[in-house]
Amino acid sequence: VWKHIQQILREYINIRSYNTWFAPIEAIDMDDQHLVLGVPNRFFCEWIDNHYAKVLNNAIVQVLGEHRKIKYQIKNDSLPESPYHPTDLQPAAPQLNKISFSNTVNNSPFYTRINERYTFDNFVVGDGNNFAYAAARAVADSPGRTNYNPLIVYGGTGLGKTHLIQAIGNYALSKYPMTKVYYTSSETFTSHFINAIQQNKISEFSAYYRSCDILLLDDIHFFRNKGKTQEEFFHTFNDLHQNGKQIVLTSDRPINELMDLEERLISRFKWGLIVDVQPPDFETRLAILRKKCDESDLDIPGDVLEYLAANLVENVRELEGALTKIMAQVTFTAAEPTLELARQIVNEIAPPDKKMLTIETIVEYTAKVFNLSSDHLRAKTRKKDVVRARQVAMYLAKQMTNHSLITIGLHFGGRDHSTVIHGINTIEELLRRDANLRNQIESMKKHLTYQK
């Protein structure tokens, strides 16, 4: 029965989400009221209830013809026995607070403070980072007691790696205040190590890093070409791992591409779970901007936010940079947060020659080629020549950008994705028999490629 339900689910959700959330689940028991599912950790229950309750219920009804209540059973029993006993993780006692805890750790010369600003609550989850987010939540929930050890987060710069791993630390600290959480960049680790060698304090250095419960080590690509440091880290790693302590690492490239990292280090990394963070899509970028505006009480019109989300596509840091600039302008020069201001700021952050091709550019250019205005393409009109131009622009947007059909639809006056599919199909069909159109589109593509 569960196999059958899984099959239906696979049709309804994208394959990545399916593999993340439903592939690892087994059905454990079923009676005429309940379906008991075995999940890898508590976070699954929460996530599925919040995101997939409807789809799952529908699939159950489709297969069984009637409803079943879902119960979860956490499959942690299958994990190897960890020497890191649950009793080590005392739940939050009210009289203990983070401050007193941080102070004790702070006495150490090595400690880098974990930034309380980085939490799960203010991390926006989208398609590009939901797996990484889920894994981070699971690890924060039961440090050292999931199969995700080490957990490695990799991805381009400004995509939230540092935010995520510090969020693990903050969450774990709020749940288990006695946990020793060390956050450090690999660069700091390296310079501590070099200092330790120079001052003959290697044993203190090792003792320090071996004394934590959770080690959050940022940017391990920095270890490339640093043989001695790698060696030291290798021993620290083994020691922590053997004692069931949680290790979380980040890297700006996939682990197997960290060629200069020692082979044995890399093979250790494969014991755990490696997850990536991808650049956010349009909807996620917009959600991030909205969240940051809320947080800093910034009141920016919707179309300005959409403009920023449509044009700053590389990473989250750019989005934050844009908001900071707008905030400065608004506060210090009493400027209004207008589209014009947004255009200026986008040009400063992502100058046109480096900018990715946007749907907006495609719309404007296509309108020009067809002697129309870009508003025509966004308007409701069904006039034949406008419809054709609109379809060409949709086709180009699909071919030349990474935006989803939904996003493309939004740029054409909020048309839904089936309209976009229809438009694209129509053009593809025409291209097969209409040589003129083929030439025209080819030359438009060339032009747009250089326009970026």
Burial of 443 (0-12, 13-18, 19+ CB in 10 A): exposed
Residue 288 in the binding site for ligand ADP (CB under 6 A):
yes
Does residue 378 belong to the site contacting ligand ADP (CB under 6 A)? no
Q: Is 286 in the site for ligand ADP (CB under 6 A)?
A: no
CA–CA gap between residue 21 and residue 14 (Å, rounded): 11
Do residues 76 and 145 lie in contact, with contact meaning Cβ atoms separated by under 8 Å? yes
Q: Is the Cβ of residue 10 or residue 317 nearer to Mg ion in the bound state?
A: 317
Q: Kindly state whether residue 123 participates in binding ligand ADP, applying the rule CB under 6 A.
A: yes
Residue 162 engages ligand ADP in binding (rule: CB under 6 A): yes
Q: Counting contacts by CB under 5 A, is residue 166 touching Mg ion?
A: no
Closer CB to ligand ADP, residue 287 or residue 379?
287
| Residue 409 is labelled as binding a ligand | no
C-alpha to C-alpha distance for 284 and 119, rounded to whole angstroms = 17
Q: Is 320 helix (H, G, I), strand (E, B) or coil?
A: helix
Q: Which of 71, 268, 317, 417 binds ligand ADP (CB under 6 A)?
A: 317
Cβ of residue 405: shortest distance to Mg ion, in angstroms? 32
Piece of 185-193, 316-324, 370-378, 421-429 that binds ligand ADP (CB under 6 A): 316-324
Q: Is 366 in the site for Mg ion (CB under 5 A)?
A: no
Nearest-approach distance from CB 250 to ligand ADP, in angstroms: 6
Q: How far is the CB of 219 from ligand ADP (least distance, A)?
A: 8
Closest approach, Cβ 108 to Mg ion, in A, equals 22
- The answer to whether 74 and 156 have CB atoms below 8 angstroms apart is no
The single residue among 150, 158, 337, 423 that binds ligand ADP, judged by CB under 6 A, is 158
Largest CA distance in the chain: 81
169 forms part of the interface with ligand ADP (CB under 6 A):
no
* CB distance 46 to 55 below 8 Å: no
Buried (b) or exposed (e) across 166-178, using 16+ Cβ within 10 A? bbbbbbbbebbbe
Instruction: Identify the helix (H) or strand (E) that includes residue 7.
Output: helix 2-12
HSE-up of residue 375 (Cα within 13 Å, Cβ side): 0
Shortest CB 74 distance to ligand ADP, Å: 27
Per-residue string for binding with ligand ADP, 58-97, x by CB under 6 A? ----------------------------------------
Residue 227 assigned ligand-binding role:
no
203 Cβ contact partners less than 8 Å away, ≥ 6 residues apart:
none
Q: Is 162 in the site for Mg ion (CB under 5 A)?
A: yes
Binding of residue 282 to ligand ADP (CB under 6 A): no
Distance, in Å, from the CA atom of 20 to the CA atom of 171, rounded to the nearest integer, reads 22
Q: Which stretch binds Mg ion (CB under 5 A): 34-42, 157-165, 175-183, 235-243?
A: 157-165
- The answer to whether 158 and 219 have CB atoms below 8 angstroms apart is no
User: Is the Cβ–Cβ distance between 392 and 359 less than 8 Å?
Assistant: no
Answer yes or no: are the C-beta atoms of 369 and 386 closer than 8 Å.
no
Verify binding: residue 320, ligand ADP, rule CB under 6 A: yes
Q: Which of ligand ADP, Mg ion, none sits in contact with 163, Cβ below 5 to 8 A by type? A: ligand ADP
* Sequence ranges of the binding site for ATP: 158, 160-162
Which residue ranges make up the site for ligand ADP (CB under 6 A)? Answer: 122-124, 129, 157-163, 288, 316-317, 320
